Amino acid sequence: MIQAENINKTYKSGSVEFEALKGVSFAIDKGEFVAIMGPSGSGKSTLMHILGCLDTPTGGKYLLDHKDVSELSDEELADVRREKIGFVFQTFNLLSRATVLRNVTLPLVYSGLPKPERKKIAGEALKSAGLDDEYFEHKSNELSGGQIQRVAIARALVNNPALILADEPTGNLDTKTGEIVLGTFQRLNKEEGRTIILITHEKEIASHARRIIFIKDGQIVSDSESHNQKMI
């Protein structure tokens, strides 16, 4: 599904250049659960933006489903983000005064599907993310942090993306709630075969994935199976 070949990313500010990524190469197959781990400033956020088609590399190639992302237009990149990638962020990014169901149906507004079908698909995504239907008509600001994050996961699932990209998804949650959310990702990977990339700076969080890519100073330091994967 993903092929990163000697990816470089350089940022320029006037005459100053900063090399955020330095020849990063790896592959991720369909159905994998991978954590990309590294300290602040390691380049993992830059890599996340490239994998999420929010940015393109300065050098090297990023192929998503055999397509070179750097050759796509802005409109084509937007289509890829909408159709193939589901994003889950640390800050949730939900509409606080909209209902849970409304938040999850929003990505389907331009799909051409009738409203009842959109609501049905959103409901299925919410159940898949582990939220009971008794909460569907609640406003998102009436839910707990863990419930809100599960709504965000459902929103990421609603277009049936090939890839789920989760950026520090437990950063605003307490430990117990974070474990529940990570368990949701594990279930989506194991039972539904979802491909998941988890971005984190914490070893404990990364241990929930099946594979850990550790990045430091813009380079991959290690890439190995998580032999002691923490299951929930």
**Inside any domain, residue 145:** yes
Task: Count up the domains in the chain and report the number.
Answer: 1
- Domain containing 73 equals 2-225
Average pLDDT over every residue of 2-23: 93
Q: Check pLDDT > 80 for residue 230.
A: no
Paired residues of 59 in beta bridges: 8
**Model's pTM, two decimal places?**
0.89
Residue 102: predicted pLDDT: 93
**Inside any domain, residue 214:** yes
Whole-number Å distance between alpha carbons of 154 and 107: 11
Q: Check pLDDT > 80 for residue 85.
A: yes
**Inside any domain, residue 197:** yes
**Inside any domain, residue 230:** no
On average, the pLDDT of the chain sits at 91
Structural tokens at position 228: 């002691």
